[in-house]
Structure 1
Amino acid sequence: MDGVPHQGRRPVRRALRVGVPALLRVPVSARSEAARRPLVGITGRRFRLSLIEGSDERYGDRCVDTAMSDFATRVAEAGGLPVHLSYDTDPDAVCDWLAGVVITGGQDMHPACWGGDPSVVRGIDPRTDPMVHDRERDDYEVAVVRAALDRGIPVLGVCRGLQVLNVALGGTLVPDLPAGPVSHLSEECAPTDGTVDHLVSFEPGSIAAGLFDGDVVTNSWHHQAVDRCGVGVVVTGRTADGVVEAIEVPGHPVLGVQWHPEWMKSADPTLTWVVREATRLLERRSES
């Protein structure tokens, strides 16, 4: 057209054929397979980049969002699509997309969340010390739990995550477990299956009992625990000293475990469970 040689136009048309449509040439079977894999949201922490040794000091005041990669690895191995949940991700909006949620471990919940003693709170910015209380994280994870429960989304709470589940439903915590015959705050390094004294027994008929063949020895890194159960929450696992190790909400796909399944050396079925339940939810959604 307008004197442009036909040969000069061919590379442009060829570039269009090769370039943009290439994004659409994913086999239909592959797209269908991905659509059958549930999105599982995984919570984490936020802290300044300067806390990471060797990081560029020019960006030290910037924050990074992190989660232990073992969670994503286990979720992916079980057939799920793990996605990290930043504090900036609106809980209600993201739960409209998610089919499963994992609330991960970390620092103690702020006592103001459950009516505890505020004097234990230190005036330290959690962005500069990821082990101090982080009210922003607390509020975010509580909101995620409630949004997930409203939508019937399976929820797995791990260690701190179990406590978040309980607090989100109005429960309280034991602020500091006394020393006793069972080691709850282990000095062992991850991954580990724990020590023989940390034996968890489950209530017959519970989700947890259905996942494990009898009692199970687990790892343990916590000094707080469930005290009073929240609305609808029941205790389904304890150690011999009576400390709560598993909670559930009967009638709902909700499980909290006080140990770290992502750091068990042996196969632990809890992360597989949340992916399986998420897959079932995804299938029900597709049928409706």
Structure 2
Amino acid sequence: MASSVSDPHEPGTDAPGAHDPAPVIGLTSYQQPARWGVWDTEAAVLPAEYVRMVVAAGGVPVLLPPHGTDVAVLDRIDGLLLSGGADIGPARYGVQPHAETKSQDWRDEHEFTLAAAAIDSGLPVLGICRGLQVINVALGGTLHQHLPEVLGHSDYQPAPATYGEVTVSCEPGTIASALLGPETTAPCYHHQGVDRVAPGLRVTGRSPDGLVEILEAEPDTVPGWLLAVQWHPEHDSEDARVVTGLVAAARARARTRPPSAPTPDPRGGS
């Protein structure tokens, strides 16, 4: 795996703001049955790898479960991370479900609502695996529902709960190349991928077999920082570059916010 060691003044880092308050990063989460201790019940959960990587990159993580969705929460965070998870319901891009497609409509509704509002408002957004697909479909793109039938192999999801590894070539002059250089390797776990790229997005990274691995906004099409990767950067604890890029963008946005009004003293007086 690629190293996360970098010069503090290289692109993707944020040395001038090192003493700013840590930016708050909202992370979309699962809501499904889970077990811990003596309990076996429905829970809002997310692999701790995401939380640890946001903290390691200098952010404050806040989970955004797919229940009680309200875009007003975007006013209280500095960046949005759309996490990995289930397949996207194919009705959202106008096709019938494949036998291998397993979607969760309630999570789709939650994340499509947040993603559209965040992108429109200029909030920095990072999509990871499913998150890349959410961004592409939300903006009008489509997906391949089962890559083994398209590519003739299952290297991107070799077995249940087993990550593959992908090599990605990055286009020069992009967010991706500034963060990752011309090429990177990363853990992956997905059986779907981008088919038609949405208007306003551009491909800035591909695998050796041509699969879309990175999406960014076309210049001057969205007001904020936008990056989406098809792999799972959180699964490589030694390579925080992608998430560090989100946190740096979120910190820069936080500097432009007006100061919060002081909290009134409940005891009265001034």
Partners of 2:19 and 2:29 lie apart in 1 by 24
Which residue does the alignment assign to 1:39? 24
1:156-235 aligned at under 5 Å gives the runs: 156-178=126-148, 179-180=151-152, 183-187=155-159, 195=165, 198-235=166-203
1:113 aligns with 2:123: no
The range that moved more, 254-263 or 65-74, is 65-74
> Please, which runs of 5 or more residues in structure 2 have no aligned partner?
1-17, 261-270
| Residues 181 and 47 of structure 1: CA distance in aligned 2, closer, same or farther (over 3 Å) | closer
Q: Give yes or no for contact 1:121–1:133 (8 Å, CA) kept in 2.
A: no
Which residue does the alignment assign to 2:238? 266
1:99-138 aligned at under 5 Å gives the runs: 99-118=78-97, 120=99, 132-138=102-108
Q: Give yes or no for contact 1:181–1:241 (8 Å, CA) kept in 2.
A: no
Aligned CA RMSD, in angstroms, stands at: 2.6
For residue 38 of structure 1, what is the amino acid of its counterpart? P
Partners of 2:170 and 2:147 lie apart in 1 by 21
| CA shift for structure 1 position 189 | 6.3
The structure that is helix-richer by fraction is: 1
Partners of 2:107 and 2:128 lie apart in 1 by 15
1:82 aligns with 2:82: no
| CA shift for structure 1 position 53 | 6.7
For residue 84 of structure 2, what is the amino acid of its counterpart? G
Q: Give yes or no for contact 2:28–2:111 (8 Å, CA) kept in 1.
A: yes
Can you list the C-alpha shifts for 1:227-276, whole angstroms capped at 9, x where unaligned? 11112111111011110000011343111101100001532301011111
Which residue does the alignment assign to 1:127? none
Number of equivalenced pairs = 237
Q: Give yes or no for contact 1:42–1:102 (8 Å, CA) kept in 2.
A: yes
| Residues 182 and 207 of structure 1: CA distance in aligned 2, closer, same or farther (over 3 Å) | farther
| CA shift for structure 1 position 119 | 5.7
| CA shift for structure 1 position 63 | 2.1
| CA shift for structure 1 position 147 | 1.1
Partners of 2:238 and 2:56 lie apart in 1 by 15
Q: Give yes or no for contact 2:98–2:146 (8 Å, CA) kept in 1.
A: no
| CA shift for structure 1 position 90 | 3.1
For residue 264 of structure 1, what is the amino acid of its counterpart? D
SS across alignment from 1:162: helix
The structure that is strand-richer by fraction is: 2
| CA shift for structure 1 position 284 | 1.1
For residue 229 of structure 2, what is the amino acid of its counterpart? V
| CA shift for structure 1 position 54 | 5.8
Q: 1:285 aligns with which of 249, 257, 270?
A: 257
Percent same amino acid among aligned pairs? 37
Q: Give yes or no for contact 1:166–1:172 (8 Å, CA) kept in 2.
A: yes
Partners of 1:72 and 1:91 lie apart in 2 by 22
Partners of 1:112 and 1:55 lie apart in 2 by 39
Which residue does the alignment assign to 2:125? 155
Partners of 1:275 and 1:74 lie apart in 2 by 10
Can you list the C-alpha shifts for 1:101-141, whole angstroms capped at 9, x where unaligned? 0001111111111112236388xxxxxxxxx3100101110
Q: Give yes or no for contact 2:100–2:146 (8 Å, CA) kept in 1.
A: no
TM-score (norm 2): 0.80
Q: Give yes or no for contact 2:20–2:251 (8 Å, CA) kept in 1.
A: no
For residue 139 of structure 2, what is the amino acid of its counterpart? L
Partners of 2:37 and 2:76 lie apart in 1 by 36
Can you list the C-alpha shifts for 1:37-78, whole angstroms capped at 9, x where unaligned? 2111001111134xx27643xxx5x52111111111111121
